[in-house]
Structure 1
């Protein structure tokens, strides 16, 4: 078993490479903005069967966390709770029934309280991080990869069919473009600006459209020979809803997975009929079935990212004590991933 030490907790065997009994964690005390976040020290619970203790090296922040903290999101946690759900780090110890070796570099999402020096997670949710990728890469890929993987299978797309991806230069967008392209889908990526369009092409898009300078509808229709796309993936919401409908081929599907410009309007069934008997669906957490499914989708994203550049860059790195400032940067609309580095170099 290499040099791992053996520890016993009651009658259960715990494999451990480093003794850690407490952690520092950023917590939201009550509903509100970043000002409700404080950092505190707390005891770590004993490992149960199927669990692993991980030293957190990098934490990735996501916009949905601000919605949860504000109390406006359907999914809610009882206050106070540990913030952060996504990260990357090193396995320090594992409980019974866990085969993951101590010392494995891993990434994850969906683990509340990840904005901390250490976290206890179901081992089934931890995805090994290959050497070409850094901890920052892992903390930038996991949540976006889970979303992109779930979206890519949400509507059946055959090889050679066309799909439109709004926000294609963003974290989810790049991974979604790459995932669809890997499956033979002709991806039309929509973004703004030269460098972002280059990133969309590098991710595997067959066509990159500059929404700030081009007629998106004309570009999509021209590329598809006038037919339109079999699917449109849209995180924007109100601002792009009608345009997205116009980009669809007959019996195509608009998959909304965000509301950056506001919630979608009430669906007019006649409008769907006249657009070509199209479909509209809302993608959310229900698109994933349990820890092993989550890990499989993240692993697919990690595999793709090891082959080509798919992360959207880092907008800022913050020490754990400045977790509230990190969430302020996130809420300000920073371009790129906002990271918290619990024990390393950060602002």
Structure 2
């Protein structure tokens, strides 16, 4: 099979398409023929060596996948030919930039019936991050006010939709050129963070989904008893203590695979309440171009590889 590997840390130029043996599923796993694999910011950090989750190269990047079950075993809940999607093994090596992937069956779900592989692959890591933060940790409820940072990005644009599906009042931060996009997602208020200091203008927010690494600033807009959900500072004990001392709740999120949550996310998609936006798609052979776009950090929505 074809896969994308790297022999050293570095920029997009270290990524190369190679031939590898097709993986063999172990007990409780399925073999998936991958139709598409999405990129996430963590991919670039691992590629460069800034976040050495996978140890030293060589390794195959990629976690978000969508495809078709090619081999399975009794008791997995899947049959050969089933369309599935997921984020297997994170933060371990899943090898998602490849034509075939093995995955624990519990970490997959049936692909949303209304999506193709490219759109389905765009969901798992970003949607699970938003879901585990807003639904799991914050227990976001109807009528609550939630602030979503980077609302036009991979996690943000899905978080806006998940929050609206929960019946929340959504305040979204995005640059002015992206306001129409974010409003179309369902945001009730959209603020240009470059021209407005929300820590001066916003108060009494129930939940903040912080993806900027500036949790102490975000704390200023929360009501007493409100929840700070932070993605980048999830292990910051000092921040956690500061939030608790201020009478708010700290919820640090490090996304984990969850097939049951993916099934609920798929139900939202098929009900017309959640849809991923694709910034760009690339064939596997253009992996370097895909990672250059990822490195720019300006993509509106998700970047996807098609196989």
How far apart are the structure 2 equivalents of 1:163 and 1:36?
A: 40
How far apart are the structure 1 equivalents of 2:237 and 2:294?
A: 26
Contact kept, 8 Å, 1:166 with 1:189, in 2: the verdict is: yes
Q: How far does residue 272 in structure 1 lie from its aligned partner after superposition?
A: 7.0
How far apart are the structure 1 equivalents of 2:126 and 2:244?
A: 29
1:242-261 aligned at under 5 Å gives the runs 242-258=216-232
Match of 2:276?
A: 311
How far apart are the structure 2 equivalents of 1:185 and 1:268?
A: 25
TM-score, reference length from structure 1 = 0.76
Q: Structure 1, residues 119-151: CA drift from partner, whole Å, max 9, x if none? A: 122222222123321111111111111111111
Contact kept, 8 Å, 2:24 with 2:31, in 1: the verdict is: no
Change in Cα spacing, 1:267 to 1:141, as seen in structure 2 (3 Å) is closer
Contact kept, 8 Å, 1:81 with 1:113, in 2: the verdict is: yes
1:251-290 aligned at under 5 Å gives the runs 251-258=225-232, 267=239, 273=245, 276-285=246-255, 288=256
1:329 counterpart = 2:297: no
1:1-347 aligned at under 5 Å gives the runs 23-73=1-51, 75-111=53-89, 112-152=94-134, 153-194=136-177, 196-214=178-196, 216-217=198-199, 219-221=201-203, 228-238=204-214, 241-258=215-232, 267=239, 273=245, 276-285=246-255, 288=256, 291=257, 294-306=258-270, 307-308=272-273, 310-315=275-280, 317-335=281-299, 336-342=301-307
Q: How far does residue 279 in structure 1 lie from its aligned partner after superposition?
A: 4.1
Change in Cα spacing, 1:341 to 1:79, as seen in structure 2 (3 Å) is same
TM-score, reference length from structure 2 = 0.85
How far apart are the structure 2 equivalents of 1:27 and 1:331?
A: 18
SS of 2:155's equivalent in the other structure is helix
How far apart are the structure 2 equivalents of 1:45 and 1:144?
A: 26
Unaligned runs of 5+ in 1: 1-22, 222-227, 343-347
More deviation, 243-252/305-314: 305-314
How far apart are the structure 2 equivalents of 1:268 and 1:51?
A: 37
SS of 1:205's equivalent in the other structure is coil
Q: Which has the larger radius of gyration?
A: 1
How far apart are the structure 2 equivalents of 1:64 and 1:328?
A: 14
How far apart are the structure 2 equivalents of 1:172 and 1:301?
A: 13
Q: How far does residue 296 in structure 1 lie from its aligned partner after superposition?
A: 2.0
How far apart are the structure 2 equivalents of 1:99 and 1:253?
A: 36
Q: Structure 1, residues 228-269: CA drift from partner, whole Å, max 9, x if none? A: 11221111124xx4541221112323222137xxx9896496
How far apart are the structure 2 equivalents of 1:124 and 1:185?
A: 30
Q: Structure 1, residues 290-337: CA drift from partner, whole Å, max 9, x if none? A: x5xx1122222232233145323323x222222233222211224132
How far apart are the structure 2 equivalents of 1:127 and 1:270?
A: 38
Q: Cα RMSD over matched residues?
A: 2.7
> Whose relative contact order is higher, 1 or 2, with alpha carbons under 8 Å and at least 6 apart?
2
Change in Cα spacing, 1:334 to 1:192, as seen in structure 2 (3 Å) is closer
